Amino acid sequence: LCTMPSRPSSAAPRSVTFSITPHRANLPLMGVAVRAIVAEMKLGVDATAALDMAVIELVANLIRYGYSEEAPEGALVLSLNETATGVQVVMTDQGRPMMPLAENEVYVCGNTDMTTLPDSAHSLLLACAMVDKLSYAHLDGCNVLELTCHY
C-alpha cells in the first residue's frame, strides 16, 4: 500500500484521509466527499469548485490509464489537509505511472514543456489551470499527486 508523504509539523488542525476502489463508478461519490470536506475548510466557493474539478479530472485520468476497467486492484487514497494558507490534497495510488519520470524526479506544474506530455498525463494541463500548485511523482511504485489551493 502507498504511504502518504509526511506533513510538516506546522500543519493545520483539519485533515481527512479516505480511500476508494479505483473504478469510475466511484467518481460521483468521491466528488461529493471532496466538496463536503473542503466546504468545511472554508476555502471559498470558486476555489472549492476549481479544486473539486481538478481532483475529479486527475482521478478519472488515473483510473482510465492506470487500471483495468474490469478488475481494478488496490486503492486510491485521498488526503485533504487544511493549512495556514489553504487546502492541500494528496492523492496516492498504485496504478500505472501517469508519465515517464526518472527515479526521484518530480513533475511540477509549469516546469515542463506541456506539449511533450503523453496522453496519460493530459489531465495535468487542465488541473494546473485550476490550482495554485500541482506536483506529480511516481515513487516506490506509487503515483503521488499533490495539489494546493490558497484561500
* Angle, alpha carbons 20-92-49 (nearest 5°): 70
Residues of the chain with pLDDT under 70: 1-13, 70-72, 110-115
Q: Residue 122: what pLDDT? A: 80
Q: Other CB atoms closer than 10 Å to residue 99's CB: what's the count?
A: 19
Q: Residue 129: CB partners within 8 Å, gap ≥ 6?
A: none
Angle between helices 45-66 and 123-130 (to 10 degrees): 170
Q: Residue 11: what pLDDT? A: 45
Q: Residue 104: what pLDDT? A: 79
DSSP reduced 3-state for 18: strand
Q: Residue 12: what pLDDT? A: 41
Q: Residue 149: what pLDDT? A: 93
What's the predicted TM-score (pTM) here?
Answer: 0.84
Tell me which amino acid residue 57 is: E
